Amino acid sequence: MSAAGIRLSPSSSIGSLRQNCSVPLRRAGVVRRERTSPLPVEIERLALLGWRLTPATANKRGLFPGYLDVATCDLDTLEQWAGAHPGFSWKAVPDGSGILLLDIDITGATHADDGVATLRALCAAHGPLPPRPHGRTPSGGHLLVFRDPGTPVRRGSGVLGPGIDILHHRLAAMVAPSRRRDGVYRWVIPP
């Protein structure tokens, strides 16, 4: 019996354990079978961590109405979506995923504010950030991943300062390996 209360045996498969996204399958020692799935390995990893994911268009919109409500970490559902819509992008929905995200903008064609300068000033005033999952956006911006503090968080643009967006609850973020016309999202330090 694992710490999560699920009986594991050498013949256990991911399929038999998928019913509960909150089960830490990675930590339970379950190894995924040979990859034949259309689901990108980056998305599978996030789902196994319990992140709720949903398909999105390259222009950051949900692929279908109600996409925030149907976001899931269920691998069967994610594989069905990936098979039905190959090559689309992905969004992570913090609500129910146990995460809070900071979107750090850089000055450029799409952003007037320098979130990197704002973050540097915050770190100078409050101390450095510990190592954490870190993604990059096609425009050169940064996505920093934090554990959900479990308390109400004021979310949105500019709350911490210019160029930093707090993505929490239903404010979703594009994640690797999503693509836009100007490039791809990628993990520098994967979750």
Give 3 or 143, the one with higher predicted confidence. Answer: 143
What's the pLDDT tens digit per position in 93-117? 999 999 999 999 988 777 778 999 9
| Average pLDDT of the residues in 25-30 | 46
Binning pLDDT at 50, 70 and 90, where does residue 146 land? very high
Structure tokens at 157: 């643009």
Give Dmax over CA atoms of the chain in angstroms: 55
Is 52:71 a contact under the CB 8 Å cutoff? yes
Q: The whole model's pTM is what?
A: 0.78
Give the DSSP letter of residue 35. P
Binning pLDDT at 50, 70 and 90, where does residue 10 land? very low
- pLDDT the model gives residue 55: 94
Q: Give, in order, the Cα–Cα distances in Å from 100 to each of 8, 51, 153.
A: 31, 11, 9
Give 156 or 27, the one with higher predicted confidence. Answer: 156
- pLDDT the model gives residue 32: 53
Q: Which helix (H) or strand (E) holds 16?
A: helix 14-17
Angle between helices 41-48 and 75-84 (to 10 degrees): 160
